[in-house]
Amino acid sequence: MLTKASSAADAAMTRRSVRAYLDTPVTDDELHSLLELTGRAPSSRNVQPWRFIVVRDQSIKNALEDASYGQKQVGGAPVVIVLYADMDDTMANLGEIVHPDVTPEKRAATLASLEQSFGAMSAEERAAWANGQANIALGYLLLIAASKGFGTAPMLGFQADRIKAILDIPASATITAMVALGRPGEDGFRSHRHAVERITRFR
């Protein structure tokens, strides 16, 4: 059974998808800590376009499961975290991502530069860019969960429009992943990964 990892390296080596969970509840404090640490993920220009919806209500989890081709880990997990990227929210609040320590002049210049950069992109390009950033947070979430002894099942097998309707996620947002989470009730499959030499060239 997955045990608590003691380092990032340990978490990377031991984590695997877990699709069955114990009934043990996940506390508010545990979730807060998990999401606070996940939010430490870096992003281009520190834009942090990721947003989370934490679902514990069984009837909502059941609806999410139905919109996820009946994947049992959705309704069966104590918690389902829906991670999405929202550039409309991000762009409406660009001021909050500018570092508080910069001068007013630097702040104004940064805001103008961000507005210029994002304004030059199409809505589709912005959504794809933000989803790329939110995937960094997804990696953090999975590793941090493993380090705290949680099992997780990341998922993309769902009907995004239905998930958005159930959770009132803006149509313009991109759902990066759904993550079922709880204390592990199974071991999961042994990891199967490329060797470094297969995917790397040293020059």
Of residues 125 and 187, the one with the C-beta less far from ligand FMN? 187
CB of 32 to ligand FMN, least distance (A): 24
Residues in contact with ligand FMN, shown as a per-residue x/- string from 156 to 185 under the rule CB under 6 A: xx-------------------x--------
Q: Does the protein bind ligand FMN through residue 2 (CB under 6 A)? A: no
Of residues 71 and 90, the one with the C-beta less far from ligand FMN? 71
Across the chain, the runs of DSSP E, i.e. the strands, are 50-55, 79-85, 151-155, 174-182
The answer to whether 77 and 180 are in contact (CB under 8 A) is: yes
User: What's the CA gap between 106 and 10, in Å, rounded?
Assistant: 41
What residues from 41 to 80 belong to the interface with ligand FMN (CB under 6 A)?
Answer: 71
Exposure letters 40-63 (e unless 16+ CB within 10 A, then b): ebebeeebbbbbbbbbeeeeebeb
Of residues 172 and 188, the one with the C-beta less far from ligand FMN? 188
Report which DSSP code applies to 184.
B
Of residues 16 and 61, the one with the C-beta less far from ligand FMN? 16
CB of 48 to ligand FMN, least distance (A): 19
Q: What angle do CA 191, 148, 19 make, to 5 degrees?
A: 45
Q: Which residues bind ligand FMN (CB under 6 A)?
A: 16-17, 71, 153-157, 177, 188-189, 191
